[in-house]
Structure formats: C-alpha cells, structure tokens
Structure 1
C-alpha cells in the first residue's frame, strides 16, 4: 500500500489561503470550488497509510491565484501525488505555472487543462505547450475539493450552482502539476484541473464542461498507471455521481466566505 506524508508546510497546518484579493467575475470551468473536510476522511477515502494530521480544511469559496496592484495573490489547493510507491498530500499553487515562466503567473488561463471529445487525451495535451511537459513527465496529481461552483450559461444574470459528490465524501479530480524555478534556487509547484465533456447533470444546469472525476480504481490509474491507463480515465463523470443546488450570487465575489454559500438559494 502506498504511504502518505506531508511536506514541512503541511505539517504546520498549511493549505491556508494566502491573502485573497481577487477580481470579481465569473470563472471558467472548473474555476471555483470549496473545501470542508477533516484529514481523517481523506486518509480513509484514499486508503492512505500512516496517521493523518489533526484538523482539516474549511474554505468555502476558492478561486485561482490572480494579479493585484501589489503583485500576485497566490492560492493553493491540496493535491495527492505519487512517487516511488509513496503517495503524499501537498499544497500546490493554483493555477498551473509552467516551468518556462519561472514562477510568474500566466497572463492566460491555466486553471483547467481541456480535453477534447473523441480525441485521445495524450494527443490533445501534447498540442498544448503549457501542459505538454507535465504530461510527458508523468506529473499527474489528484486535486481534492469538497464541491465546485458552476454558472448557468443560459440565464441573465448567470445563476451559480454548487456541485457536490452524491455519495463520496470528497471530490478527487484529475490534475497535472509542474515545477517552475523562481530564483535563488527556489521552485514553485502548481497544478491544473483536467476537464472533459459534461454529464447529464451539468448539461441540465447549463454548463458545457466537467472536471474529470476519479474513484478508487481510476485514482490508481491516474497516479500510478501508464500513459494509456491515465488517458483512459479522462471521461465525463458518471451520471448520478454528482448533485447540485443553486446558491446565492454572492459567490460571484471570491472574497465572500459566509455560511450562506452552503444554502439552497430561493427557487432551488
């Protein structure tokens, strides 16, 4: 069984949101999420060995890092990686910063790595310079969220929805990671969420993309399998695996973290 360990930052109770000053606006898929779990639940669900750390994660409205007047406001997501038979949970910057940008936040969106219908993922991703190196090096990860938010593209104003797992305690999402030098012999590790075609639920709420949702066997294929094994799990979430309800439009402001984000909005 793979073992799990935390890096030094995580032992100090990391995965905290670095100061969030994010511009308003509707994100792209999958560009907003939330965390609300304890680490014991993660350890059990992912069958990780060793004792989990105390406590958990609770961030109700997470957006990718963005630029501000004072520089870049970096945000992170917890992610599982595997190396030499060992699984570890780390805090990775979101979105992905390719190695050739040397730690600078991209001026284009890298929160998601889009797959294409009827095209092998390996073929699609090797045509994307931002993500190509991570894929070729086998730098795959599983990004953890409790839910993600989506906006109905058909409504004006666009209605936000909170999308949760139907039965699983957390969402395990396929991701890629990269390492970028930042100077002074330091590096930044960052991630992107792989997206695919929507399932029936996401189509019903007016959205055209979905994250690649993983379960026990597909987690192993993505983390430790061959390239063929990994690309075989890039598919829409099974129907019935997700549920959703409308939420307050206050979620449009990524500063907003109040409890009413968890409530069903009027009309839901």
Structure 2
C-alpha cells in the first residue's frame, strides 16, 4: 500500500509538470511525513493534499482530503482504511472495484485525479522492527499517482471532497525491499487519459511502476511517528 509520503515542491514546478494553466502562487509544499487523516482525542485531524482534477477539460489543483470519505458517509471519516484502493492481479479493475462499496461509485462516475508526491514510504515486512524506506523517482522528478475522488455531504451542509490512491502489484525494487504493493504511478503522457479517458482506457494504465524508475533508501525509524518531520527525512 501507500500510506505515507512527502511533498517537497514549488507550486511553479507542480503546475508546470501537471500542465495546469492557472498562474501558480508563490511558495510550495514542504511536508516530509504526510499521513492520511486520523482521529486524535476523539477529534479528526484532516489531511489535505493538492490533487489535480479536470474541470470541464481544464486542469486545476484542489486540496482534497486523504483518505477517501465515501459519498454515503455523511462527511465522516470511515472506521476502516480507505487510503488505498487495490487492483488485483489477473482481474479487471472494474470487476474488483465493483465489490468495494467505498470506491465503486467514484470509479463508475469516472471521478479520477492525479496526486503529486515527491516520495513515499514503505516498510520492509520481513524485518523486526520493520525498516522504513523512502522511495523516490530515479530521475529526481515528481511521482504522480492515480487517484479516485468522491464528495460527501455532512448533515450540517458542509461537503468533504477526498481521494484514495489506486495500488497494484510491486515492481522489482519494492519486492526487493520486502513490500507487496505499489501505487500506480502515471507518466505525463498518461495524465489526460487518466483524468478524462474512458474507464477501459484508464484501466489499462493500472500497472506496476517500470523497473528502473524508482530508488529506495532506508530512513530513520522515527518516521513511524506520523508527527515526525525531521529534516533527515529529506533526500
């Protein structure tokens, strides 16, 4: 799965990479250990991540909540994990997602988004304690992940727009560091297909990252704490 990551980019860079035509604001993101929303002391601490959607053919960057809050959840954080939506080997994604009540409506409505990360973290499941790794693009650029989004109306009238990351089988690198899933990472030539293509065209993009496109380095186990933001997490 992909349940933790880092955002370290300028708005100018991400607008350019995603071909967003709006004028980028000043500044950017510097968040070294981003985790999905969670409950703290009975209250929800919401995590919002800039995500790209197509609005009538125009790409825009919107702050969407992570993980996905299904449209029928009345704006409440689910009690089960919705940070990732798994595709399964040997099965059509349309068939797999149809069995997942949290995600199937977003897929049916073609509510797809692009989620730019600078890196993500994975843990070697074979070690005790588990060793965390920072996974970065081999070319030093952004990792743009395939997401599904949904909108959920709260009883008081507020709405939460949120996303999940689609995952698939691991590539060789992720298997080598003891992990069994990978986020679907899209290349620039695939962005428009994921955002606006037919379900069949989008489904063909759900494949493991190509070998040689990622690098992995061990990082401090302090990253296990979602609140840890030490600069030693930066590549």
Q: TM-score under structure 1 normalisation?
A: 0.86
1:72 positional shift: 0.8
Task: Please list every run of at least 4 consecutive aligned residues from structure 1 whose deviation after the TM superposition is greater than 2 angstroms.
Answer: none
Q: How does 1:234-249 map to 2 (within 5 A)?
A: 234-249=206-221
Q: Distance in 1 between matches of 2:200 and 2:91?
A: 13
Q: How does 1:142-161 map to 2 (within 5 A)?
A: 142-161=114-133
1:197 matched to 2:169: yes
Q: How does 1:13-92 map to 2 (within 5 A)?
A: 29-92=1-64
2:184 to 189, 212, 231: 212
1:48 positional shift: 2.1
Counterpart position of 1:26: none
Q: Distance in 2 between matches of 1:129 and 1:216?
A: 30
Counterpart position of 1:109: 81
CA contact (8 A) 2:19 2:59 kept: no
SS at match of 1:113: strand
SS at match of 1:43: helix
Q: Which runs of 5+ in 2 are unaligned?
A: none
Q: Distance in 2 between matches of 1:32 and 1:215?
A: 21
Q: Distance in 2 between matches of 1:188 and 1:104?
A: 9
Q: Distance in 2 between matches of 1:177 and 1:261?
A: 28
Q: TM-score under structure 2 normalisation?
A: 0.97
CA contact (8 A) 2:82 2:164 kept: yes
Counterpart position of 1:185: 157
Note the alpha carbon deviations across 1:100-141, whole angstroms, 9 max, x for none. Answer: 110111110000000000111111111111100000111100
Note the alpha carbon deviations across 1:14-56, whole angstroms, 9 max, x for none. Answer: xxxxxxxxxxxxxxx2000010000111122122223211110
Number of matched pairs: 235
CA contact (8 A) 1:198 1:207 kept: yes
1:168 positional shift: 5.2
Q: Which runs of 5+ in 1 are unaligned?
A: 1-28, 264-268
Q: Distance in 2 between matches of 1:60 and 1:257?
A: 6
Q: How does 1:89-100 map to 2 (within 5 A)?
A: 89-100=61-72
Note the alpha carbon deviations across 1:164-204, whole angstroms, 9 max, x for none. Answer: 01115211000000000013322100110000000000000
Q: Distance in 1 between matches of 2:154 and 2:163?
A: 16
Counterpart position of 1:3: none
SS at match of 1:213: coil
Q: Distance in 1 between matches of 2:11 and 2:145?
A: 17
